[in-house]
């Protein structure tokens, strides 16, 4: 039996902490694992305490809501920009159609922005806008995309500035940072999974261990399913928006 793989990096902070808490409780109720994973369990519990501290500071920060709003707005602006370009892909004007196709190539190159972490999104948007400014000013002018591009640039800069402010605020209260805590927690969890798989191979008839693995795999599949649905919903929303906009603008 193998452990179902789970990309913990794709979870939101609260989701990640909930999963970590689930794993700790599951290990603690499995007698054959308490001793085998004792050292790792201590590390994971310490990591969980650090996560609670960091999350509480984030929750109390007055900047958390503006950050969430700026993040949501830049996602909305990306969809709007993509829809605007898509609306000209079959335009009767060959120059506009050509410009849209050139811009669509760039959009396709950066299509994974919505699936990236917040920090990764910031960097990807910067590179996306840089490429548009350096290589596609004429294409943007042809279909009137400059204003949408500038709105995205401004919102992304505002998001980064707000995030930096909150990081400084948190830094004045604690040295704990959620990205660092998650990286360390993920390292411990991956080590735990590795040890469990070794135990499953060495003691394949341990019914308690098999029960543990079945429960863990069920949770991993549930979490993966939620992540898949979130990604699919984002994709469906974007595609529907593009289709509706294209139909309206090309009438």
Task: Write out pLDDT tens, residues 226-241.
Answer: 887 766 554 444 444 4
| Of 204 and 242, more confident | 204
Predicted pLDDT of residue 241: 42
| Of 76 and 226, more confident | 76
CA distance 171 to 178: 11
Would you say residue 24 has pLDDT above 70? yes
CA distance 211 to 218: 11
pLDDT band at 170 (very low <50, low <70, confident <90, very high): low
CB 246 within 8 A of CB 143: no
CA-to-CA dists, residue 68 to 11, 40, 115, 136, angstroms:
16, 34, 16, 30
**Which residue carries 């042809």 as its tokens?**
142
Q: Give residue-wise pLDDT tens across range 114-166.
A: 777 777 889 999 999 999 999 999 999 999 999 999 999 999 999 999 988 87
CA-to-CA dists, residue 239 to 47, 232, 243, angstroms:
40, 10, 6
- Record the tokens describing residue 48, joined without a space: 């969980």
CA-to-CA dists, residue 212 to 8, 33, 35, 198, angstroms:
19, 9, 15, 14
CB 181 within 8 A of CB 54: yes
Which residue in 178, 188, 225, 213 sits closest to 6, CA to CA?
Answer: 225
CA-to-CA dists, residue 73 to 2, 26, 78, 139, 174, angstroms:
41, 38, 9, 24, 29
Predicted pLDDT of residue 232: 55
- In whole angstroms, what separates CA 3 from the centre of its chain? 22
Would you say residue 57 has pLDDT above 70? yes
Nearest 5°: the CA angle 50, 114, 186 is: 30
Predicted pLDDT of residue 127: 95
Look up residue 3 and give its DSSP letter: P
**Averaged pLDDT for residues 19-45:** 92
| Of 241 and 101, more confident | 101
Percent of the chain with pLDDT over 90: 56
CB 137 within 8 A of CB 150: no
CA distance 79 to 76: 5
pTM above 0.85, yes or no: no
CA distance 239 to 242: 5
Which residue in 124, 119, 78 sits closest to 234, CA to CA?
Answer: 78
CA distance 50 to 106: 41
Predicted pLDDT of residue 188: 95
Percent of the chain with pLDDT over 70: 87
- Cβ partners under 8 Å of residue 6, min gap 6: 19, 220, 223, 224
CA distance 142 to 122: 27
Would you say residue 103 has pLDDT above 60? yes
């Amino acid at each position: 039996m193998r452990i179902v793989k789970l990309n913990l990096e794709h979870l939101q902070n609260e989701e990640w902490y909930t999963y970590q808490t689930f794993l700790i409780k599951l290990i603690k109720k499995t007698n054959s694992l308490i001793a085998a994973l004792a050292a790792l369990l201590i590390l994971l519990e310490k990591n969980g305490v650090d996560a609670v501290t960091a999350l509480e500071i984030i929750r109390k920060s007055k900047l958390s809501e503006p950050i969430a709003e700026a993040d949501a707005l830049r996602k909305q602006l990306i969809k709007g920009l993509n829809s605007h370009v898509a609306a000209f892909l079959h335009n009767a004007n060959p120059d506009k159609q050509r410009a849209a196709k050139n811009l669509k190539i760039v959009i396709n190159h950066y299509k994974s922005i919505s699936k990236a972490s917040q920090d990764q999104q910031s960097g990807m948007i910067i590179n996306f806008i840089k490429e548009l400014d350096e290589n596609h000013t004429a294409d943007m002018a042809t279909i009137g995309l400059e204003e949408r591009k500038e709105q995205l640039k401004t919102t992304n800069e505002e998001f980064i500035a707000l995030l930096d402010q909150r990081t400084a605020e948190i830094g004045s209260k604690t040295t704990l940072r959620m990205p660092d805590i998650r990286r360390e927690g993920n390292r411990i969890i991956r080590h735990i999974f590795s040890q469990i798989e070794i135990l499953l191979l060495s003691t394949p008839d341990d019914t308690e261990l098999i029960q543990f693995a079945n429960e863990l795999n069920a949770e991993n599949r549930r979490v993966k399913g939620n992540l898949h649905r979130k990604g699919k919903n984002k994709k469906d929303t974007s595609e529907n928006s593009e289709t509706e906009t294209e139909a309206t603008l090309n009438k």
